[in-house]
Amino acid sequence: MSRNSGTMRKTPPGILLIRSIRGQDCSLKSYRYMVLLITFIAYASYHASRKPSSIVKSVLYPDPLNASEGKPWPFGNVFIKDESVSLDRNRGNKGWYPFNGTDGTSKLGEIDVAFLACYSMGMYVAGHLGDTLDLRLFLTTGMIGSGIFVGLFGMGYFWNIHVFGFFLVMQMVAGLFQATGWPSVVAVIGNWFGKRKRGLIMGIWNAHTSVGNISGSLLAAAVLDYGWGWSFIVPGALIASSGVLVYLFLPAYPEDIGYAGANASPKQDSAASQNQKFNAVVVETNSGFKEGSSSRKGVGLFEACSIPGVIPFALCLFFSKLVAYTFLYWLPFYLSQTEIGGEYVSVKSAGNLSTLFDVGGIFGGILAGYISDKLNARATTAASFMSAAIPSMLLYRAYGHISSTMNIVLMMIAGLFVNGPYALITTAVSADLGTHSSLRGDSRALATVTAIIDGTGSVGAALGPLLTGFLSTKGWDAVFIMLTVGALIAALLLLRLVIAEITEKTQKPIPSSHGQQSLEATGTQPLLSNQR
């Protein structure tokens, strides 16, 4: 009887309610759609809550060149309600102490690095906890905690706080809570979806990053006129409410609701789908339940690092995220300070326009995932995209100022190549390596491997915005040189894996039957297995 009650505790209460209303259980396909949607919303809200700091930079540290602002472009009334943009009534163009001094950009950079440093350090711990604790509860706690401290940062406006330490601490604690997100959602997706076409599925699913950036920018910009504090409070409320949704409806493992695992054979899935009934006995006696979230065994950090390919991809992501997060945190500020087509744009318009970089990123993630599936070569795809990002960023810097149309086109192209490999490595590659054949038995390392790769990448994500805060005072050319060097190093770090992938494909015929099945999961496993 106690086992039965334990089983029921693992079933999300929202699913129990749906079952009771319908009188029967949902199909496996329906649950997979539900998991995709909920995790998409969850991580989109994570990124939405990170965007406000980039939107309010120009409010906290106003640019004197932007004192007289013309008509916003290119969307006019579609994005900006009032075409004659006046100075923000809440700041009187004086900024917000302590960010409005001569060292304002440096302090803003320190705020960013405080968040990202805690985020990256917390990632290593969060990944291991995600493999040992209930992922649904772990993710819920992280989302609600993030919402609280993002909101508290915004309350500094209403409480009239001008102490730098307050904003620093709020960002640091928020970073720790945000570290729970990525390892958890990737682990859940990996648990529910097998390896076939994983790159394409995760490339589409990874659009949540760009959707979150876009929605966060639009939300923060929409309420900016009412006080910059609202730009933090609204996204904070969004992620907290999304955490409640996760608690109510997200099953972390198929086994927790009585289905066989994602990598089970179609026959097992079919049998589970046909036999599944809404009663505790069936769920309890299902053969897959014993591998549910309560009994999953994680692996240690050292063991996860020894998985072939983890270290090269982690180091590559260090520089890839350095580039991506510099755009994430500083692109709106760059747009507001750069003369484009002979005009300077408003703070709100710059925030809205920066979303187009993420629109390009959506296509980049999907394209990278599709190509890597077709070629069965993750490393080659990631390195190719990272190499193409170099000329795209240089072109954006050199010609983006000519006109608004040129700026938009080049920005979207840069977003496509910058976010493509970043999305591929943090999703399909992490999931592939987290289920690598070198792992013993049934132990899983999805959250741990994801945390190692993304945690290392997040150190670079912290370094990029910090360096930008200092380099931007010397001119934006210095910032773009840093970005191109970072992209080049990221591509070179995968060179050995690329050579091994090409060698594997040119020297060995592709197996036609069961041999192909063992290799279909990733483009990294064949070449990486030779390195052991």
How far is the C-alpha of 248 from the C-alpha of 17, rounded, in Å?
A: 9
181: helix, coil or strand? Answer: helix
How far is the C-alpha of 154 from the C-alpha of 238, rounded, in Å?
A: 14
For the stretch 219-266, pLDDT in tens is 998 898 899 999 999 999 999 999 999 999 999 888 878 776 554 444
Q: Which ranges of 425-472 would DSSP assign to H, the alpha helix? A: 430-434, 446-471
The CA-to-CA distance between both ends of the chain, in Å, stands at 47
For the stretch 154-195, pLDDT in tens is 999 999 999 999 999 999 999 999 999 988 888 888 778 765
Which pLDDT belongs to residue 520?
42
Considering the domain boundaries, does residue 294 fall inside one? no
Which pLDDT belongs to residue 438?
52
Query: Can you give the CATH number for the domain in which 305 is found?
Result: 1.20.1250.20
Measured between alpha carbons, how far is residue 410 from residues 85, 212, 227 in Å?
26, 21, 32
Considering the domain boundaries, does residue 340 fall inside one? yes
For the stretch 436-471, pLDDT in tens is 555 543 345 566 777 788 788 888 887 888 788 788
How far is the C-alpha of 272 from the C-alpha of 395, rounded, in Å?
A: 54
Considering the domain boundaries, does residue 265 fall inside one? no
Share of the chain above pLDDT 70, in %: 74
User: Where do we find the tokens 């919303």?
Assistant: 41
Considering the domain boundaries, does residue 74 fall inside one? no
3-state DSSP percent of the chain in helix, strand and coil, to 5:
75, 0, 25
Which class for 478: exposed (0-12), middle (13-18), buried (19 or more C-beta within 10 A)? middle
Structural domain span for residue 59: 26-68+94-259+300-504
Considering the domain boundaries, does residue 270 fall inside one? no
How far is the C-alpha of 42 from the C-alpha of 123, rounded, in Å?
A: 17
Considering the domain boundaries, does residue 238 fall inside one? yes
For the stretch 5-29, pLDDT in tens is 333 447 889 988 888 898 888 888 8
Radius of gyration of the chain (CA): 23
Considering the domain boundaries, does residue 268 fall inside one? no
For the stretch 469-502, pLDDT in tens is 788 888 899 999 999 999 999 999 989 888 988 8
108: helix, coil or strand? Answer: helix
Enter the tokens of residue 119.
Answer: 């985020």
Which pLDDT belongs to residue 458?
80
Total domains present in the chain:
1
Which class for 532: exposed (0-12), middle (13-18), buried (19 or more C-beta within 10 A)? exposed
Q: Choose between 436 and 49: higher pLDDT.
A: 49
488: helix, coil or strand? Answer: helix
User: Cβ distance 363 to 414 under 8 Å?
Assistant: no
According to DSSP, the residues that pair with 343 across neighbouring strands are 340
Short-list 325, 326, 350, 329, CA closest to 340: 350
- How far is residue 118 CA from its own chain's centroid? 16
User: Cβ distance 99 to 107 under 8 Å?
Assistant: yes
373: helix, coil or strand? Answer: helix
Lowest-confidence pick of 90-94, 155-159, 357-361, 405-409 = 90-94
In the predicted model, what is the mean pLDDT of residues 106-132? Answer: 82
Measured between alpha carbons, how far is residue 174 from residues 114, 122, 145 in Å?
10, 11, 7
Considering the domain boundaries, does residue 269 fall inside one? no
How far is the C-alpha of 498 from the C-alpha of 382, rounded, in Å?
A: 9
**pTM above 0.75?**
no
In the predicted model, what is the mean pLDDT of residues 28-44? Answer: 92
